[in-house]
Every structure is written in structure tokens, then in C-alpha cells.
Amino acid sequence: MHGKHILLGVTGGIAAYKSADLVRRLRERGAEVQVVMTDGAREFVTPMTFQALSGRAVRTDLWDPAAESSMGHIELARWADLVLIAPATADFLARLAGGRADDLLATTCLATAAPIALAPAMNQQMWANPATQANVALLKERAVHVFGPGTGDQACGEVGPGRMLEPTELAALVDSTLVPSGVLNGQRVLITAGPTREPIDPVRFISNRSSGKMGFAVAQAAREAGAEVLMICGPVALATPAGVRRVDVESAADMLAAVQAEVRRDDIFISTAAVADYRPAQAATHKIKKTEENLALQMARTTDIIGTLAAGAQRPAFVVGFAAETDTVEQNARSKMLRKNLDMIAANEVGHDKAFDCADNELIVLWRNGRKLLPRAAKTQLARELIELIAAVFAERRADAAHSAALPTAITKG
């Protein structure tokens, strides 16, 4: 980020105090930072704080006679390599989505050709409000980056999504947005994670012990490697990794529908989800009363998500499966890889306090002409090693395909 120009917009939320540290983190990475504050932001932090940290006079007023004598808002818009709004309040999201130009920050956003990134920060109910979600969806359609929000305790005393990401997270996301340098730059990665829930009746369901931690770690590692990451996950209590788009689903059928709606032929598809193999054939419409000593459930097979994708016309470019086995791990995993026409499979032993609900794991990774053991490590570290391996094998596969495609031409010319 050395020498890059970051225009940091600060709007009126309590998270504005974090923006002071964000200026420091961006400058540590070599960026020049120009702060623009709204009137609301000045109710929380003074311009002098940001001036001292950035080394530049803070801009606050669209009607500043000195600055606007040379069309200051246009000058700012041209100066920026990236505009980052942190915190971005619900009000600012609405004004930006509506194309308003009623203060210096909003006007600069309209006038710039630089990428714009938002770090939302607000009460969890405000974030969940349909109006806010509609504004965010519209901004994403316009290629605005949305970093977060995170989930956790909020200043109002509530808990949920809406916290601004931490300054170190935001600085890393700005870095990867401006200067992508990972092994998956330019790639789109679609990941499924977590368990599914198959309803028995309106209050009961069948599920499994998957926490989703491995899948979330893989999503984070893929994003760190420069990929555009979309995660489709079952019911889990985990915060979305920074910079990752997330779609929540409940059942295996829901997950299949979401995957089919989102998958593209150029994707790397990584199926870490522990999808139910069976579901109750007929879910009761009312709660089943405890009247009998025994209850028999008729079970039906769910649709195989990864098998369906791997065999379909929209088959992703590279398909990676996971195999959770209690015995003959490698043999069962290789059989699954061949049977379902996968490009790679990551196998791990489960049960007996292994893999599920654990912070660490180990994997045997298999592909058509290779095998590698990833020794036991924290799932975050293991995920990074797996992503590096996926990227290497995928690149090798593409190089082989390109060589094969060129071969007939070379023979003809010879």
C-alpha cells in the first residue's frame, strides 16, 4: 500500500473512536490518509485527533470557501485510490444508495472513480432492517465493497451483527483490495459450511455435530489468498470472516438451491458442509405429541449436492470435497472422490473427540495423481495450508489443459 491514497470517511457513530486507530494502521502499511468527517462524526471525535494521526488537515465542509475555490470535492475525488467509509452508519448507507450529495463526503463519493468500501456500524436491529439490507444489496450491485459488519457486543447493550470490523481487519482488507497478491487472485471461491437441519416437525429436527469452524477457516484463508469468496452455510453461531459474502440456509434442499443459484463454471467449489444424507420423508405440520413408547420415522435420501454439481452442465472449474470418516479414512475418501468425479478431497477422522467441536484438525488431501498429509494444527492454519495446496493443484491443472489445447496446433505446424 506504499504511496496509495486512502480517503477515510468518518460518519456519526460510536465506532468513530476506532477510526483513529484505523488511520494509524493504514499509515503503518505505507498509505497516505485524508480524513473527511461528517457533522455527526464530530460529535464523537474531534478533527484535531485525525489531523494529528494522519498529518493532513481534516476536511469537513462542502461549503468551505478556501477549499472549494479550487473545487475541493473534485480534487479529493481525483486524489483517492480508494474511498473507505468507516464507520458507515445506516443513514449514510441510505444516502449513498439514494445518490445524495448533501455533504462533502457523499458528494465526494459521487464524484470519484476510485473504488468505494464501506465498514457498516450500527445497532443489530438497524442492520437487520429490510430498508438497510435493501440499501446494502443495491450498493453491492454497484460494485461497492462492504467490509463486515462483525458480530458481538454493542454499545447499546445488545448482541448481534452490526459491529464495525477492527482496524487491523479493515487495514488488511484495504490492502488486499488495492494490492491483491494472493495465490487465488482473480478467482471466485464458493464454499459450503456447517451442518444442515432436516425438520421432523415444527420444533424438532435431525442434524449433526458440525460446528462449521473448518469451513469458516477455509473461507477466511481463501479471502486472505485474494479470492472473491461466497459462503453458503447451515445454522452456525460463527461470525462471517471479513470480506466474505454469506448466505444462510437451513436444510439440505435449501443449501442445494442456494448453491445452484450462485455457482458459476469458473468457480472453485469447496464443499466443507456436513450435509444430512437422510431427512424425514414427511415432516409433521404440528408438534408430534409424546403419546407412544416408540416413534418410527421414515427417512428419505437427500440430494447429493457435490455429486450433482460435479456431474452437471454448470460444473465448477475445480471441485473439492470433504470426507468425514470413522474408519478406513483414506480408502473411503479416495472411493468418494472417484465415484463423485471430484478434483480433490480432504479427509479427516471424526468421532472420539476428533474434528467436531475442536479448534484443531488434521487432513489427508487426495487428488488424481497426488496425496499430502496436513499434520494436526489449528483449523485456521490448516485452512491456509489447504488453500495453498488447492491453488497449486488448480494452477497445474489449468496449465495442463492449456498445453493440451495448444498441442494439435503445434503438431500441425510441425
CA distances from 102 to 35, 38, 62, 74, 139 (A): 18, 11, 8, 15, 18
Rounded to an integer, the average pLDDT of 239-252 is: 88
Nearest Cα residue to 76 out of 105, 100, 47: 105
Residue-level pLDDT at 249:
96
Q: Please say whether the beta carbons of 263 and 269 come within 8 A.
A: yes
CA distances from 5 to 46, 73, 95, 404 (A): 22, 15, 24, 44
340-388 tens-digit pLDDT? 999 999 998 876 555 565 667 889 999 988 999 999 888 888 999 999 9
Which alpha helices (H) appear in 42-155, and where do they start and end? 47-54, 65-68, 72-79, 90-97, 104-111, 124-128, 130-141
Spell out the domains of the chain, with CATH numbers in brackets. Answer: 5-178 (3.40.50.1950), 188-279+298-404 (3.40.50.10300)
Share of the chain above pLDDT 70, in %: 92
Residue type, 93: L
Residue type, 285: T
Residue 260 pLDDT exceeds 50: yes
Nearest Cα residue to 88 out of 48, 139, 152: 139
20-70 tens-digit pLDDT? 999 999 998 888 999 999 999 999 999 999 999 999 999 988 776 655 545
Whether 109 is catalytic: no
Q: How far apart are CA 330 and CA 44, in angstroms?
A: 57
Identify the residue with better confidence: 111 or 64: 111
Q: What is the mean pLDDT of the chain?
A: 87
Residue-level pLDDT at 374:
92
Q: Which residues contact 241 (CB under 8 A, 6 or more apart)?
A: 216, 219, 220, 223, 229, 231
Residue-level pLDDT at 67:
57
Share of the chain above pLDDT 90, in %: 54
At 53, list the grid cell: 494521526
Residue-level pLDDT at 321:
95
164-223 tens-digit pLDDT? 999 988 988 888 777 655 789 889 999 999 999 999 999 999 998 888 999 999 998 998
Least confident window among 75-79, 97-101, 105-109, 321-325: 75-79
Q: Which residues contact 345 (CB under 8 A, 6 or more apart)?
A: 320, 321, 322, 323, 333, 334, 336, 337, 365, 366, 367
Q: Please say whether the beta carbons of 189 and 267 come within 8 A.
A: yes
CA 397 to chain centroid: 25
Nearest Cα residue to 123 out of 97, 94, 96, 153: 153
Buried b (16+ CB within 10 A) or exposed e, 84-101: bbbbbbbbbbebbbeeeb
The bridge status of strand 204-206 relative to strand 299-301 is: unpaired
Main-chain dihedrals φ then ψ at residue 378, nearest 5 degrees: -60, 145
Residues 161, 164, 166, 170, CA torsion sign: positive
DSSP 3-state percent helix, strand, coil across the chain (nearest 5): 40, 25, 35
Q: How far apart are CA 149 and CA 142, in angstroms?
A: 19
Rounded to an integer, the average pLDDT of 231-254 is: 90
Nearest Cα residue to 176 out of 56, 84, 75: 84
Residue-level pLDDT at 352:
59
Q: Please say whether the beta carbons of 215 and 230 come within 8 A.
A: no
Residue-level pLDDT at 239:
81
287-331 tens-digit pLDDT? 989 888 888 889 999 999 999 999 988 899 999 999 988 888 999
Q: How far apart are CA 375 and CA 360, in angstroms?
A: 10
Main-chain dihedrals φ then ψ at residue 119, nearest 5 degrees: -115, 90
Q: Active site residue: 109, 156, 233, 358, which one?
A: 156
Least confident window among 222-231, 322-331, 394-403: 394-403
Residue-level pLDDT at 148:
85
Residue 133 pLDDT exceeds 70: yes
Which alpha helices (H) appear in 163-299, and where do they start and end? 167-178, 213-224, 252-262
Rounded to an integer, the average pLDDT of 137-162 is: 82
Residues 231, 232, 233, 237, CA torsion sign: positive
Residue-level pLDDT at 394:
93
Residue-level pLDDT at 414:
46
Residue-level pLDDT at 361:
84
Q: Is the pTM of this model over 0.75?
A: no
Q: How confident is the model at residue 240 (pLDDT cuts 50, 70, 90)?
A: confident
Rounded to an integer, the average pLDDT of 72-78 is: 78
Q: How confident is the model at residue 334 (pLDDT cuts 50, 70, 90)?
A: very high
Rounded to an integer, the average pLDDT of 228-251 is: 89
Q: Which residues contact 245 (CB under 8 A, 6 or more apart)?
A: 229, 230, 231
Q: Which residues pair with 5 in a beta bridge?
A: 32
- Dihedral, CA atoms, 307, 311, 312, 316, nearest 10 degrees? 80
Q: How confident is the model at residue 409 (pLDDT cuts 50, 70, 90)?
A: low
Residue 247 pLDDT exceeds 50: yes
> Counting every residue, how long is the chain?
414
Residue-level pLDDT at 42:
92
